Amino acid sequence: MQLAEKRKAYWRRNLRMTALLLLIWFAVTFVASYFARELNEFSFLGFPLGFYMGAQGSLIIYLAIVWYYARYMNKLDREFGFDEGGG
């Protein structure tokens, strides 16, 4: 029973983080692109902002999302004692 609860708690935290990161992914990808015409009015590092998001900004945020998720989950595994050892 204790194991089942532990699993539930682990899974809930995993789902919460996954949902949060997917939300960021969605905003960066679809919301920012949807408003690209408007964002292009602003300038960032010499780029029109809408163009910058498509060419660099969103890509760097994707990398940050993937990196953070790996870090978070690897920590969570350890916290719950799911240590695989080795790797």
Partner 1 sequence: MTDFAAQLRRYYVLYTGGFLAFIALLGVLERFGMPPRWIGYAFLFLTIILYATIGILARTANISEYYVAGRRVPALFNGMATGADWMSAASFIGLAGTLYLSGYQGLAYVMGWTGGYVLVALLLAPYLRRFGQFTIPDFLGARYGGNGARLVGVFATVLASFVYVVAQIYGVGVITSRFVGLQFEIGVFVGLAGILVCSFLGGMRAVTWTQVAQYVILIVAYIAPVAMLSFKVTGVPVPQAVYGQVLQKVQGLEAQIFDRPAEVEARQLFRARADEYHERVMRLPDSLDEEKQRLSQRINELRSSTAQMRDVIVLEKERREMPKTPDAAHERWDAAMRAAAERGAEPVHHSTAFPGRDEAASNTARLNFLTLVFCLMVGTAALPHILIRYYTTPTVREARNSVTWSLFFILLLYLTAPAYAVFAKFEIYSHLVGTSIAQLPGWVSAWGKIGLVSIEDINHDGILQLAELALNPDVIVLATPEIAGLPYVISGLVAAGALAAALSTADGLLLTIASALSHDVYYKMFRPAATTQWRLVVSKSVLLVVAVLAATVASQKPATILFMVAWAFSLAGAAFFPALVLGIFWKRANKAGAVSGMIIGLLVTMIYMVRVHFDAIPWLGIHGIAMEPWLGIQSTSAGIWGVMIGFVTIVVVSLLTPAPGREVQDFVEEVRYPESESAERP
Positions in the binding site for partner 1 (CB under 8 A): 7, 10-11, 14, 18, 21-22, 25, 28-30, 33-34, 36-37, 39-40, 45-48, 50-52, 54-56, 58-60, 62-63, 65-67, 69-70, 73-74, 77, 80-87
Quote the least distance from Cβ 44 to partner 1, whole Å.
8
Quote the least distance from Cβ 45 to partner 1, whole Å.
5
Determine contact, residues 40/48, Cβ cutoff 8 Å. yes
Cα–Cα dist 87/31, whole Å? 38
Q: Helical H runs in the chain?
A: 2-26, 32-34, 36-39, 49-52, 58-79
